[in-house]
Amino acid sequence: MQIERWSLRLRMFLFFAFLAGSTILAINLGLWLGYRKLGIAEALDGFIFAGIIAVFGVLGATVWVWILFDEHVAKPIQTLSGTLLARAQSDHPNTKTDHSARYLGDLSLAAQTVTNQLVQTRRLLAKTVAHETAELIETNEKLAALAAEIPFGILLVSGSHKIAFYNGAATDLCGSDLYVSDKKLGLGHSIFDILTPAPLISAYARLCAGDGGIGHVIPLTVMVQDGTQILSARMRLAHAPQSKQDRPAYVLTLDDTAPDQQRRNAHSTLGTQAIRLLADLGATLQTVQNAREHVGSEQAIPKLNAAQQELLNTTAIKAAEVFEEYKHLNALRTQTVIQVSGENICDAVVARLKDVGITLMASQNDPVYLNVDPDPLISLLTHTATRLSQDGAKALSMLITPEDTGVMIALGWSGEALYVDRLDAWLSEPIDTDHPQASWRKVLNDIDTDMWPEAGRGTRRVLKLPIAHAAISAQQNRRGATYDFDLLAKPSQDTHLSTALSDLTYVVFDTETTGLFPNAGDEICQVAAVRIVNGKVVRGETLDALVDPERHIPKAATKIHHITNEMVREHPTIDVVGRALHSFARGAVLVAHNAPFDMAFLHRHASRIGAQFDHPVIDTVLLSAVVFGQSQPHSLDEICTRLGINIPPDQRHTALGDTIATAQAFLKMLKMAEAKGITTFEDLVMEMKRHSRLQPDLNNRTLAD
């Protein structure tokens, strides 16, 4: 029994209860001894009556004093304690103290002064640290941006095979769609969740044993766990093992083998076609020759010669087609196809034209990325814009717009119309006078596209250039590098009770629903979640999905979360999104505000989702009661106000907005709990159960296990 864990109010209650009990016992003992000393039997009723009066008097006085003490001392001290802890986690020194703290006299003023000074000192320290580390932050951002542009996947994995770094290309290669891929890349997750373990374990063991040649690199082939993709990979140790027990981290680079395999298949198909063509030609010629030997009529010979010539002509045409396809495949193999942003293409064209004195305004409607060989495309656009300017075009512009099948690049100008024959003449010009056979038309053919002029608005003219095979992705979906290098030295942890709170991984989530009664037919219409690893919200690891509730959303619910029936139409249903959430939260502790409400919806659909949400759960309502006291209000708005967390009005009552606010509040309250000596998950569960009068704790199964 840890008495120091008891709240001040409980200890004061027990103190006054003991005081009342001992006083009543002493009074009754005195009355009994007095009665025995007096020795008059008739006086017993008087002594009993006096004892009853004394008992009620003592109880009344004690309860009255206890209530006064509880209201004027214990509650204010508990409130002040929570306020001080909250201020220690926020940057709002002027947060008003609860009005009940006035009963504490100078103590409240002194505490407020000290915390204000603490916050100001911390602000100055943070400002100094930010100034000193600004260059480092800028360098990290540049490195993250560089990692995002690298066209192949890069992962840094600890010796226990936990992911500590990955870039956007790795996410794309390993399956970025949670609705398709069973599991998704995430910091702290095992690499074996994503890739088949056998080749990785074998390559790692060989590298630790000293294999890998001069560069200490081992090439290997791995498969994504869902079996949808085979990737070529290279593994390199971060450093040589210092001992047999040392488990160094390693770098894993991934690349897609599909394009190479497609080219090999295409070459194989062309080879088969060529062999079949020659075989058919040989068989037919042999038939014609046999016919020559057996036909006796001289009149049939010219017909055989004509048939033979027609066969040779047809075969020559087919052979030429096969040869052209072969050259096209070889040309594709030699092209430098990378993923380049539309913004970079715009900047490059503007810069090249500026060098020759031509001004062009370039922009893109939405951030897009194209899989092209950028230099020929940029040169083609520059050449065309230069020719337009030489023909008198004014106010040159370029706009890149995403379309369903790719992007459309539009060169615009004011002036005379451009006719097709004039454009063809420009495209027929050689790129380089030393190689007249390489024309701008060949650039278009290599990109597998074409250009044509159109009339624009008013006096504007437009030249259209579609990139039909471009890979387009919105900027917000294009991920940079995600990393936490502290994970490399962190031992593997399970979500068992003895694990330190700071070592656990958390998934904070929230739902928006059609109503408040899951057992009466209400359904989820939006789910959002974020991951917390190593005490920080992982930027980029977010789940935010609208859900088709398969029922009508009442107007009263729409007024709260602004989700309409039209918005959820054709979105995934709860079985799909529920599986995505379950995968997103694997190995983590679930965190939610008013968790029983959200968990009731998930438990109700467990069979349909195909997974049980049996994770450990932390309810921020109960966590707030632990750190602020049960008597305080525990709504999300009240908690955020106490902690100085601002929820933008347009984000309140949206699943993602409430999730982010809950995550911020959770991290601050977790530090407050640790300051109170609650350091393990078991400690926190036991403390939350003390406040089960607010609402039930959901960790009975966790304690049983």
How many angstroms separate the CA atoms of 197 and 195, rounded?
6
Residue 292's pLDDT band, with cuts at 50, 70 and 90, is: low
Is residue 526 over pLDDT 80?
Answer: yes
* pLDDT above 90 as % of the chain: 32
Question: How do 589-592 and 506-513 pair as beta strands?
Answer: parallel
Residue 177's pLDDT band, with cuts at 50, 70 and 90, is: low
Q: How many CA atoms lie within 13 A of 99 on its CB side?
A: 0
pLDDT (0 to 100) of residue 138: 63
For residue 173, the Cα-to-chain-centroid distance in whole angstroms is 15
pLDDT (0 to 100) of residue 334: 46
pLDDT (0 to 100) of residue 204: 93
Domain 493-704 = CATH 3.30.420.10: yes
pLDDT (0 to 100) of residue 477: 45
Is residue 93 over pLDDT 60?
Answer: no
Residue 698's pLDDT band, with cuts at 50, 70 and 90, is: confident
The lowest-confidence range among 56-65, 187-196, 584-593, 616-625 is 56-65
Give the type of residue at 434: D
Is residue 95 over pLDDT 60?
Answer: no
pLDDT (0 to 100) of residue 94: 47
The lowest-confidence range among 4-13, 56-65, 556-565 is 4-13
Residues near 35 by beta carbon (within 8 Å), at least 6 away in sequence: 43, 44, 47
Is residue 649 over pLDDT 50?
Answer: yes
Is residue 144 over pLDDT 70?
Answer: no
Residue 349's pLDDT band, with cuts at 50, 70 and 90, is: very high
The lowest-confidence range among 16-25, 27-36, 282-291 is 282-291
- Residue pLDDT, tens place only, 367-415: 777 777 788 889 999 999 999 999 999 999 999 888 777 788 999 999 8
How many angstroms separate the CA atoms of 185 and 196, rounded?
14
Is residue 702 over pLDDT 60?
Answer: no
How many angstroms separate the CA atoms of 352 and 356, rounded?
7
Cβ-contact 394, 403 below 8 angstroms: no
Angle between helices 8-38 and 44-69 (to 10 degrees): 160
Is residue 450 over pLDDT 70?
Answer: yes
Is residue 149 over pLDDT 90?
Answer: no
The helix (run of H) or strand (run of E) holding residue 146 is: helix 106-149
Is residue 297 over pLDDT 60?
Answer: no
Cβ-contact 548, 571 below 8 angstroms: yes
Cβ-contact 387, 426 below 8 angstroms: yes
> Once rounded to an integer, what is the mean pLDDT over residues 655-674?
93
Token match 């450093």: residue? 239
**Per-residue burial over 373-404, b = 16 or more CB atoms within 10 Å of its CB, e = otherwise:** bbebbbbbbbbbbbbbbeeebeebbbbbebee
**Per-residue burial over 561-587, b = 16 or more CB atoms within 10 Å of its CB, e = otherwise:** bebebeebeeebbbebbbbbbbbbbbb
> Once rounded to an integer, what is the mean pLDDT over residues 428-449?
81
The lowest-confidence range among 86-90, 352-356, 436-440, 690-694 is 86-90
The superfamily (CATH) of domain 338-475 is: Histidine kinase-like ATPase, C-terminal domain (3.30.565.10)
Is residue 267 over pLDDT 80?
Answer: no
Residues near 280 by beta carbon (within 8 Å), at least 6 away in sequence: 315
How many angstroms separate the CA atoms of 651 and 663, rounded?
14
Domain boundaries of the chain, sorted by first residue: 3-104, 150-256, 261-334, 338-475, 493-704
The lowest-confidence range among 72-86, 94-108, 518-532 is 94-108
Is residue 478 over pLDDT 60?
Answer: no
The lowest-confidence range among 110-114, 576-580, 685-689 is 110-114
Is residue 135 over pLDDT 90?
Answer: no
The lowest-confidence range among 407-421, 466-480, 539-553 is 466-480
pLDDT (0 to 100) of residue 90: 60
**Mean pLDDT (the chain, rounded):** 80
CATH architecture of residue range(s) 150-256: 2-Layer Sandwich (3.30)
Token match 């109010």: residue? 9
Is residue 288 over pLDDT 70?
Answer: no
pLDDT (0 to 100) of residue 243: 85
> Once rounded to an integer, what is the mean pLDDT over residues 422-445?
83
Q: How many CA atoms lie within 13 A of 567 on its CB side?
A: 11
The lowest-confidence range among 97-106, 455-464, 505-514 is 97-106
Rg of the chain taking only CA atoms, in angstroms: 38
- Residue pLDDT, tens place only, 331-344: 554 444 556 778 88
The lowest-confidence range among 49-53, 212-216, 402-406, 565-569 is 212-216
Angle at 485 (CA atoms; ends 481, 489), nearest 5 degrees: 150
The lowest-confidence range among 98-102, 117-121, 480-484, 512-516 is 98-102
How many angstroms separate the CA atoms of 567 and 531, rounded?
26
SS3 192: helix
Cβ-contact 540, 480 below 8 angstroms: yes
pLDDT (0 to 100) of residue 658: 93
pLDDT (0 to 100) of residue 277: 65
Residue 596's pLDDT band, with cuts at 50, 70 and 90, is: very high
Is residue 157 over pLDDT 80?
Answer: yes
Of the spans 120-134, 270-284, 425-439, 489-503, which averages the highest pLDDT? 425-439
The better pLDDT of the pair 202, 128 is held by 202
Residue 21's pLDDT band, with cuts at 50, 70 and 90, is: confident
pTM assigned to the model:
0.65
